[in-house]
Structure 1
Amino acid sequence: MKNAHSPLWGHLDARWAAMASSAKDTASNRVQSRYQRQAAHEVVNLDAECSARDIAVTAMAMFMLWSERPERFLSDAAFRLQLVKRVRALSSRHSGLRYHDRTGKQERVYRELSPKAGMIVARDLTAAFGGAGLQLAELEKRDQERKQAMTDEINQALRDLV
């Protein structure tokens, strides 16, 4: 991981901690809508099993992918649901095992999050990590452009030798 000692990681860890703390409050509050409670329970489960760093890296990687290849997502809503799916995949709590009678084996099944609850989690993940992910995508793009310019210069110099 680049820049493991960057102060950015502390800020991102703090954003996740604030998101998890808010989710714990929401999960215990019966006055919320069921979608808000479901989203809060999902964040609490993620917090219990995953590190803030892994969640931040995954979320920022998704934003980098979105910035680099927006055609991979049919819409913004499709991107947000994929963002939540990729972050949820860090935890084993969103999947379970089911016995299949015909094969006599257990198979993994995934518990889907309702789209409304998924959008709530996506909104919070976007607020916490979206800006940093898009900024990293911009920096990566600049690095690629610099490398390409250097390669073009070298190729031109080689052509001039002949």
Structure 2
Amino acid sequence: MADATATANKQVGNRYERSAAHEILNIDADAPVREIVLTALALFMMWHDRPGRFVDDRAFRMQLARRIRALSSRHRGSRYDHATGRQHHIYRELTPKAGAIIGHKLALVFGFAGLQLAKLEEEECKSAEKSRLTIINSIKDLK
């Protein structure tokens, strides 16, 4: 957070890095940490299990940034519709360059843990399948 605060307070610098830093500060101020961690790890597990869902690494990191950003309500505005008399939510889109910066930072933070968790899950599924086959074969031998 100190890095994001320092980058956000700079007067001179890359505007996409400043925008990403502001988004990170908004996420930190509004989203529960547990939800951020669970969402990031779940996305890494999905990436490990179904890599075809994402075109490339850039697309994955952008989706990671968008999903984490969606946990915060600060990127959402509202608009009053006079015809229906109701408020409608308006979602402000993240610029691709700022999203890439946020996604890269999130991948650095959660990448190793997410991939290790996916690997452990895969090993657990293989172990469960092996024990299931052992039980089936034991039952067949009893007949």
How many residues are matched?
143
Matching residue of 2:123: 142
Deviation at 1:52, TM superposition (A): 3.0
Matching residue of 1:83: 64
Mapped pair 1:105 → 2:96: no
Deviation at 1:24, TM superposition (A): 0.5
Q: Match of 1:99, SS?
A: strand
Q: Match of 2:59, SS?
A: helix
CA distance in 1, matches of 2:104, 2:13: 17
Task: Give the letter for the 1:44 counterpart.
Answer: L
Task: Give the letter for the 2:91 counterpart.
Answer: Y
| Aligned counterparts, 1:16-31, within 5 A | 20-31=1-12
CA distance in 1, matches of 2:66, 2:116: 22
Stretches of structure 1 that go unaligned for 5 or more consecutive residues are 1-19
CA distance in 2, matches of 1:80, 1:124: 9
Matching residue of 2:54: 73
Stretches of structure 2 that go unaligned for 5 or more consecutive residues are none
Q: Match of 2:90, SS?
A: strand
CA distance in 2, matches of 1:26, 1:145: 45
Q: Match of 2:88, SS?
A: strand
Task: Give the letter for the 2:110 counterpart.
Answer: F
Q: C-alpha offsets along residues 77-104 of structure 1, whole Å, 9 cap, x if unaligned?
A: 2111110111011111111222234433
Greater shift, 120-129 or 95-104, is seen at 95-104
CA distance in 2, matches of 1:107, 1:131: 39
Q: C-alpha offsets along residues 46-105 of structure 1, whole Å, 9 cap, x if unaligned?
A: 111123333222111111110011111122221111101110111111112222344332
Give aligned-pair identity as a percent.
48
Task: Give the letter for the 1:133 counterpart.
Answer: G
Q: Match of 2:40, SS?
A: helix
CA distance in 2, matches of 1:32, 1:130: 27
Let me know the Cα RMSD of the aligned residues: 1.3
CA distance in 1, matches of 2:83, 2:127: 57
Normalised by the size of structure 2, how large is the TM-score?
0.93
Deviation at 1:36, TM superposition (A): 0.5
Task: Give the letter for the 1:73 counterpart.
Answer: F
Greater shift, 101-110 or 37-46, is seen at 101-110
Deviation at 1:160, TM superposition (A): 2.1
Deviation at 1:109, TM superposition (A): 1.7
